[in-house]
Amino acid sequence: MQPLLEVRELRTHFELSDGVVKAVDGVSLSVPRGRTLAVVGESGCGKSVTARSILRLVEKPARIVGGEILLYDDAPDTKPLDLLAAKDKRLRQVRWADIAMVFQEPMASLSLVHTIGDQIIEAVRLHENVGKQAARDRAIEMLDRVGIPDPKRRVDSYPFQLSGGMRQRAMIAMALSCRPRLLIADEPTTALDVTTQAQILDLLQDLQQEFGMAIMLITHDLGVAAQVADEVAVMYLGEVVEQGPASAVLSNPKHPYTQALVRSVPRLGLRGKDRLVAVRGTVPPPYERPTGCRFHPRCDSFMAGKCDVTVPVRVRSDEIDVACLLYGEEER
Amino acid sequence: MSLLETKGLTMHFPLHGGFLGRNRGFVKAVDGVDLSIKAGRTLGLVGESGCGKTTLGRCIVRAYEPTSGSIMFDGVDLAPLSEKQLKPYRAQVRLIFQDPHSSLDPRTTLRDIIAEPLRVQESGSRDEIDDKVASLLRRVGLRAEYAHRYPHAFSGGERQRVVIARALATEPRLVVADEAVSALDVSVRAQILNLLRDLQEESGLTYLFVSHDLGIVEHVADDVAVMYVGKLVESASTEELYSKPLHPYTEALLSAVPDPDPASRGQRERIKLLGEIADPSRVPAGCPFHPRCGYAEARCASEVPQLREIGGRKVACHLAEQLDLMGVLTATTAP
């Protein structure tokens, strides 16, 4: 089936005085229609920059230097829209109406001097030809839908009057007010407690069933990914090293990095006084990307003369697309 | 024997405001907490943000002067001591902060950062301190040559190693680790947790491990105490608490932890907690948890449950005996 969104060879670089940081360097991934893709990786792997690049929300010194971001229409044979080539005016229509975004820290992305109702009403009226009252009714309906108690009163609250969990709900209400086809959620629960996190994740899943939108969930937490994702893409140093169905990627990963990551997370109920298996070493400094496979200096399956020379291309192994030289010619 | 024992430890922060800044009440951040940690063991302290776990940790290292209650450390009550009297204990009880990016002075070399507590304690000549710093750096898995570099040259995991080295400089007996690995990435987090465990084995350290992450606490702690709005609601050995919680709040916390195994999805029944943690300046009457509790009865709204002992563990719930709560499946009982 045609995906909803396809990212091809996306490159976003930060041009700093000390050199160029290739934060996103050849990312390819696809978001299936009406389903959830989790993009997982450690800080600095480029997952947030990828998400922001999709809506061209990157500012200097960052610059998108290459790639394609294709948004497919619902009708099967139409030409996709390349968001990187689209005019600014067209892109503004896509934001909110087709693709909306929720950020990690709601306080930083909500206006502090406007009520949450006014902020939702503004978004709705910019994209749809509706009157003030109708937009306000929509705002109240959405606040109710995301589980904010007493929405008729809360619509006139300022963000500082809400708790962290309620703010994140208000952000989600705003993002979904124009019924987007894709919701990009960048670490939406990272700043929240586990109990609130569980509420928000449940809410996202309910809303997905109701509105049929696709979700691209950026997270560093493999637990969150395992509980909500249909597909998982794993990023390391600006690249997607592995993408496939969540069940396959998280319980039977192919890439040595994903394998190490999965082993390093303590699981409830698997208590033992044994040591955790940590990934060796640290993420290399941003200006010096390793040659060949970028994971090779930390990899347990490192093959000298091969991994440090050849850049792995993505191959399909079982149901998973993986970029690693362990999976190669014979399986291609 | 317990190395640390608190009795009725209380920390109330006054709320000022209104006309002439009159007192408008108190934030009861910590409200009558009794806990004890045996020497060489790790006590995990868990709860949602705002439950008072950080304040409790800071009272124990005497960053705050508690409103009332006692902090018995090795037979001495630290709570009423003056700054001067506290000095010898400052070396024995140390704090590891959460964020290694803000707890290290960017204009100070690692040598001076790690040596600072030694300087305060006036122990040793310059050369002795240099040797000590070098050996501390090696102990936490860094190279001794790094001593003359500045923190900005290091990654989050390496900086947290520096923070740990500084905490260990005075050879403490009790270390309060407040969200010590929360700011770190998963791969690095495992390295730091392993380091903390190695240090405990080498030198018999005692940890109070404050964290919101129940997965990590299960891995590191021997015993666990659960806090809710300033009070302990349950404490038990890690195994008992995770396999058979007695307090409904513990049950809800455990069931909210996302499991990294996708096969478990939909298999576990999740207990949905309503609402959010109560405001510690306006604690609900009766059991502070009753407005969110699915098992609450009439008396939960009026009678405050005391922390009481049931089968060698402690719980503050009227219904503890009647309820059959769900824990986490352990590896041996899981299919």
- Asked if pLDDT for residue A247 goes beyond 60, the answer is yes
Q: Show the beta-strand stretches assigned E in chain A.
A: 5-16, 19-31, 36-40, 62-71, 81-82, 99-102, 182-186, 214-219, 231-236, 239-245, 315-317, 320-322
Q: Could you tell me which of B192, B234, B175 has the C-alpha nearest to residue B46?
A: B234
Quote the tokens at residue B330. 């352990």
Separation CA A24–CA A44 (nearest Å): 10
Over residues A265-272, mean pLDDT: 71
Q: Could you tell me whether strands A36-40 and A231-236 are parallel, antiparallel, or unpaired per DSSP bridges?
A: parallel
Nearest CB neighbour to A165, from listed B189, B219, B276 = B276
Chain B partners within 8 Å of A223 (Cβ): 215, 257-260
Chain B partners within 8 Å of A276 (Cβ): 190, 193-194, 219
Tell me whether residues B212 and A194 touch, CB distance under 8 A. yes
**pTM of the complete model:** 0.85
Q: Could you tell me which of B39, B31, B263 has the C-alpha nearest to residue B173?
A: B39
Strand partners, B234: B226, B315
Between residues A275 and A188, the one the model is more confident about: A188
Nearest CB neighbour to A268, from listed B157, B188, B215 = B215
Chain A partners within 8 Å of B190 (Cβ): 264-265, 276-279
pLDDT value, residue B121: 78
Please give the C-alpha separations between residue A176 and each of A53, A121, A142, A146, A170, in angstroms, as whole numbers. 20, 12, 8, 10, 10
pLDDT value, residue B335: 37
Q: Which residue shows structure tokens 């230097």? A: A65
Q: Is A240 helix (H, G, I), strand (E, B) or coil?
A: strand
Between residues A43 and A62, the one the model is more confident about: A62
Strand partners, B23: B16
Chain A partners within 8 Å of B216 (Cβ): 266
Asked whether the beta carbons of A7 and A239 are under 8 A apart, the reply is no
| Cβ–Cβ pairs < 8 A, chains A and B | 140
Below-50 pLDDT ranges, chain B: 331-335
Note whether B21 contacts A: Cβ–Cβ < 8 A.
no
Q: Please return the burial class of A76, using the count of CB atoms within 10 Å of its CB with bins 0-12, 13-18 and 19+.
A: exposed
Q: Show the beta-strand stretches assigned E in chain B.
A: 2-16, 23-38, 42-46, 68-73, 76-77, 93-96, 174-178, 206-210, 223-228, 231-237, 308-310, 313-315
Separation CA B269–CA B294 (nearest Å): 14
Separation CA B111–CA B146 (nearest Å): 8
- Confidence class of residue A205 from pLDDT cuts 50, 70 and 90? very high
Chain A partners within 8 Å of B179 (Cβ): none
Q: Provide CB contacts within 8 A for B181, sequence distance 6+.
A: B160, B189, B192, B193, B211, B216
Tell me whether residues A278 and B277 touch, CB distance under 8 A. no
Q: Could you tell me whether strands A81-82 and A99-102 are parallel, antiparallel, or unpaired per DSSP bridges?
A: unpaired
pLDDT in tens, B63-112: 999 999 999 999 999 999 999 999 999 999 999 988 777 889 999 999 99
Between residues B21 and A314, the one the model is more confident about: A314
pLDDT value, residue A110: 87
Q: Provide CB contacts within 8 A for A47, sequence distance 6+.
A: A39, A40, A41, A218, A235
Q: Could you tell me which of B20, B218, B4 has the C-alpha nearest to residue A267?
A: B218
Over residues A233-248, mean pLDDT: 95
Nearest CB neighbour to A278, from listed B48, B158, B187 = B187
Tell me whether residues B261 and A163 touch, CB distance under 8 A. no
- Confidence class of residue A191 from pLDDT cuts 50, 70 and 90? confident
Tell me which H or E stretch contains B123. Answer: none
Over residues A164-190, mean pLDDT: 90
CA distance A276 to chain B (A): 6
pLDDT value, residue B84: 92
Over residues A178-192, mean pLDDT: 90
pLDDT value, residue B35: 93
Strand partners, A321: A243, A316
Note whether B153 contacts A: Cβ–Cβ < 8 A.
no
Note whether A30 contacts B: Cβ–Cβ < 8 A.
no
Q: Please return the burial class of B247, using the count of CB atoms within 10 Å of its CB with bins 0-12, 13-18 and 19+.
A: buried
Nearest CB neighbour to B259, from listed A223, A260, A272 = A223
Name the B residues in 91-120 with CB < 8 Å from any A CB.
Answer: none
Quote the tokens at residue B158. 């390496």
Average pLDDT of chain A is 89
CA distance A24 to chain B (A): 19
pLDDT in tens, A22-38: 999 999 999 999 999 99
Quote the tokens at residue A226. 């395992």
pLDDT value, residue B334: 38
Asked whether the beta carbons of A83 and A54 are under 8 A apart, the reply is yes
Note whether A193 contacts B: Cβ–Cβ < 8 A.
yes
Quote the tokens at residue B314. 């402690």
Q: Could you tell me which of A206, A133, A221 has the C-alpha nearest to residue A176?
A: A206
pLDDT value, residue A74: 81
Tell me which H or E stretch contains A270. Answer: none
Asked whether the beta carbons of A229 and A205 are under 8 A apart, the reply is no
Between residues B271 and A40, the one the model is more confident about: A40
pLDDT value, residue B287: 94
Note whether B261 contacts A: Cβ–Cβ < 8 A.
yes
Quote the tokens at residue A324. 């690693």
Tell me whether residues B256 and A264 touch, CB distance under 8 A. no
Tell me whether residues B259 and A268 touch, CB distance under 8 A. yes
Quote the tokens at residue B45. 């302290």
**Cis status of the peptide bond prior to B291, with omega within 30 of 0:** no
Q: Please return the burial class of A74, using the count of CB atoms within 10 Å of its CB with bins 0-12, 13-18 and 19+.
A: exposed
Tell me whether residues A267 and B215 touch, CB distance under 8 A. yes
Name the B residues in 262-281 with CB < 8 Å from any A CB.
Answer: 262-265, 270, 272-273, 276-277
CA distance B186 to chain A (A): 7
CA distance A158 to chain B (A): 19
Q: Is A101 helix (H, G, I), strand (E, B) or coil?
A: strand
pLDDT in tens, A136-176: 999 999 999 898 888 999 999 999 888 888 888 899 999 99
Asked whether the beta carbons of B5 and B36 are under 8 A apart, the reply is yes
Tell me whether residues A195 and B253 touch, CB distance under 8 A. yes
Task: For B219, name the nearest residue in chain A, comparing CA atoms only.
Answer: A271
The gap between the terminal CA atoms of chain A, to the nearest Å, is 22
Nearest CB neighbour to A42, from listed B186, B257, B260 = B186
Separation CA A52–CA B205 (nearest Å): 45
Note whether B258 contacts A: Cβ–Cβ < 8 A.
yes
**DSSP secondary structure string for all residues of A282-302:** -PPPTT-PPSSSTTGGG-TT-
Task: Give me the interface pTM, i.e. the ipTM.
Answer: 0.79
Q: Is A245 helix (H, G, I), strand (E, B) or coil?
A: strand
Name the A residues in 233-262 with CB < 8 Å from any B CB.
Answer: 246-247, 250-251, 260-262
Strand partners, B315: B234, B308
Tell me whether residues A269 and B253 touch, CB distance under 8 A. no
Q: Which residue shows structure tokens 């507590």? A: B117
Separation CA A68–CA A83 (nearest Å): 7
Separation CA B10–CA B29 (nearest Å): 8
Please give the C-alpha separations between residue A73 and each of A3, A33, A88, B246, in angstroms, as whole numbers. 10, 11, 19, 53
Mutation for B interface: A45, A276, A280, most B CBs within 10 A: A276
Note whether A275 contacts B: Cβ–Cβ < 8 A.
yes
pLDDT value, residue A331: 44
Separation CA A42–CA A20 (nearest Å): 20
Separation CA A23–CA B101 (nearest Å): 21
Over residues A263-271, mean pLDDT: 76
Over residues A222-228, mean pLDDT: 92
Over residues A119-130, mean pLDDT: 91
Over residues A82-92, mean pLDDT: 92
Tell me whether residues B242 and A271 touch, CB distance under 8 A. yes
